[in-house]
Structure 1
Amino acid sequence: MDAAVTAAVAPPTVQVRVDHHSAVHLAAASARTVAQRCGMPGALPDQAAVIASELASNLHKHAKDGTLYVQPLPLGAGLEILTADRGPGIPEIERCLSDGYTTSGTLGAGLGAVSRIATVLTIRSRAGGGDDAGTLVCARLTPPGGREAAQQGIGALCLPVEGEEECGDACAVVDTGESRTAAVVDGLGHGKDAAHAARTALRTFHDDPRRPLPDLLTAMNRALRNTRGAAVGLLRLQDGQADYCGIGNVRVVTVSGRQVDGRMGGQPGIVGWSMPVPQIRRLPLPSGATAVLHSDGVDTRWTHAPPPHLLRLPPPLLSAALVHGHRRIRDDATVLTAKQPPRPR
């Protein structure tokens, strides 16, 4: 792969449900381990652990149905720690970002330390205790000079079936010049064999991600002949449009700040077994819009009447909100969200 191509494969996300105080220690340990696996230098693994500990502690003390997610950045060096919960929300975010500020009535203690350590911190919260109350946080931590990677308009979470370690879903995103190409793969079933099919498909994807999308799917079809097969969705963002080429139950949705602009599923078939001739279909991608690519482990009904605040979320928080609120726990679940890449300088 030449220097003009920047690529990353998103491994399964580490998930920590914060339903007991012991989860705070588990969150910190998980973040440190992921940072070490990412090759984060110096004190960065310990800083990742501090961020995770502070965020998990807030969830334990003040929130309900809180979950923390840890993973490498979808694109570029570094890692991200995300949290999602269902209340009570933060009424004064800016005040909570001050070091030393604490409160027993609202979520927020420790956010000052997180803001100071993280390369980029993104928070959205709805206070009030109603059904739509809750907080979403994304803290990205990168090596020195990695701020551009931390600001990428991409989000991705990939989770196995509850109770399993092997994930039959996988995803990847690649930037090549002015285009951004994303893949979500859902190996048939779940567990080890499904994970093998998904990894095989992504290896083919990374062989030459510049290829036309139908050619990429055709190459995946050949590579998966000796596996159980997979559903695959490929998405290329460029020139204000989203080109989609998919087989099976991987869906693409485009959203703006006010509405769902477009949605479609893949052609019937299985990559590796009974794949039809793949076709490109096109969706408009207005300036500022976000494209969402997800497996059927996320309930498609989220698009029927989504609240406006969901559609306004930046990509990392949108991925977290969809997984946290619309995941089918008996299936692997993957969401990849992306905006059009910035123009090269």
Structure 2
Amino acid sequence: MAGRHEDVWVRAADPSVIGAVRRSAVALATAAGFDQNRTGQVAVAVTEAVSNLVKHAEDGVVLVRAHGERPGVVELVTVDRGPGIADLGRALRDGFSTSGTLGIGLGAIARMASAWDVHSMPGRGTVLVTHFTADGPPEPPLRASGIRRPIGEETVCGDSYAVVDTGGVITAVLCDGLGHGAAAAYASREAVRIFLDDPLAPPVAALERVHRGLGHTRGGAVAVVRVEHETVSYAGLGNISGWIAHAEGRQGMISLPGIAGHKGRRPQQYEYALPSHSTVVLHSDGLTDRWDPASFPGLFARTPAVIGATLLRDAGSRRDDACVVALRQRP
């Protein structure tokens, strides 16, 4: 479950950022029960990754947080708009350190991580997602991830989400609170709270409860999705975009007009087939809905965390709160 705490993005504008992010990562690792040796490894890996951004990236930003979907995990996300890594395989080899590229130190970061994934396109940038656990061994990839960013320099995001994975079924909610700031954040967090009261209910039932429960707030756009085997169940009210995406294209899912908590048609649930190797993507209108999977070669073979962070970078707007949730069926 996630979306209850703010994702604090830091611009990698100067070397002072390196120490600040390292201290945040160390504090999170300590709180998660990492021993001194493992905490030191996290500090080294974070220093390496953020140093890369400061020295070589364009428009680099970094996020470090306690992972919402998997307790005890410290997650590091680095995002930039160039220059990219031309040869990821070479960059991961021991001793590779060609000056002026983001490949420096990538092999060392990967060795210290419990799990990691990366997508890079020369000239467009790199997204690196790294997970650290207390005992260090590799962890299985997550089937779901959410990521968000507030408008401009705002400190709270008006979009919230939650993910519940029972093993065979994965369900998620995304709410875009009307407007921005604290009141929008309250509405979206209320939507998440109501959803989590009974997250295993059918999406249309969950959305109806949220719709009734947001009457004391300013309301918002809400969508609930469930992925089970080879099917997707979806119910949306307002301008949340829902997609079934793969390397060659995408299929849109239907959200009805309205504002949850105030006005709108009675929610309906729609069922869709989920082809193999597809990813279900939900996002608020802080991202344009004109992104095309075909313009991201290799991206939809990556993990949901990397998919979400890349879409946030390339389709997101700084003029609105933005949130992306990406889900996969069990292999």
TM-score, with structure 2 as normaliser: 0.91
- Cα distance 1:36–1:305, how it changes in 2: closer, same or farther (>3 A)? same
Matches within 5 A, 1:1-345: 7-9=1-3, 11-36=5-30, 39-43=32-36, 44-77=38-71, 78-127=73-122, 129=123, 133-144=124-135, 147-148=138-139, 151-260=141-250, 262-303=251-292, 306-341=295-330
Go from structure 1 to structure 2 and tell me whether the alpha carbon gap of 1:251 and 1:109 turns closer, same or farther (over 3 Å shift).
same
CA contact (8 A) 2:248 2:294 kept: no
Letter in 1 for 2:127: L
The code of the aligned residue for 1:294 comes to: H
In the alignment, is the contact (CA less than 8 A) between 1:166 and 1:191 conserved in 2?
yes
User: 1:33 Cα deviation (Å)?
Assistant: 3.9
Structure 1 position 226, deviation (Å): 0.8
CA contact (8 A) 2:65 2:76 kept: yes
Q: Structure 1 residues 327 and 228, CA, compared in 2 at 3 Å: closer, same or farther?
A: same
Partner Cα distance (2:167, 2:97) in 1: 45
Q: Counterpart of 1:89 in structure 2: which amino acid?
A: G
Deviation at 1:264, TM superposition (A): 3.0
SS at match of 1:266: coil
SS of equivalent to 1:302: coil
Pairwise CA distance, 1:246: 0.6
RMSD between aligned alpha carbons?
2.2
- In the alignment, the residues of structure 1 paired with residue 59 and residue 105 of structure 2 have an alpha-carbon distance, to the nearest angstrom, of 19
Specify every segment of 5 or more residues in structure 1 that has no aligned partner in the other structure, as ranges.
1-6
Alignment-mate amino acid for residue 191 of structure 2: A
Amino acid in the other structure paired with 1:70: V
Query: Which residue identity does 1:136 align to in structure 2?
Result: V
Q: 2: CA distance between counterparts of 1:305 and 1:137?
A: 20
Q: How big is the shift at 1:102?
A: 2.0
Contiguous gaps of at least 5 residues in structure 2: none
Q: Deviations over 1:273-310 (max 9, x none)?
A: 11321101122211111000001111111148634334
**SS of 1:101 mapped into structure 2:** coil
Matched residue SS, 2:307: helix
Q: CA deviation at 1:236?
A: 0.3
What SS does the aligned partner of 1:317 have? helix
Shift of 1:176: 2.4
From the superposition, tell whether residues 245 and 137 of structure 1 become closer, same or farther in structure 2 (CA, over 3 Å): same
Q: CA deviation at 1:41?
A: 2.9
Using the alignment, how far apart are the partners of 1:208 and 1:282 within structure 2?
20
Identity percentage of aligned residues:
39
CA contact (8 A) 2:145 2:304 kept: yes
Following TM superposition, by how much is the alpha carbon of 1:86 offset from its aligned partner in structure 2, in angstroms?
2.1
Are the counterparts in 1 of residues 4 and 189 from structure 2 also a CA contact under 8 Å? Answer: no
Q: Name the count of aligned residue pairs.
A: 329
Write the letter of the residue equivalent to 2:268: Q
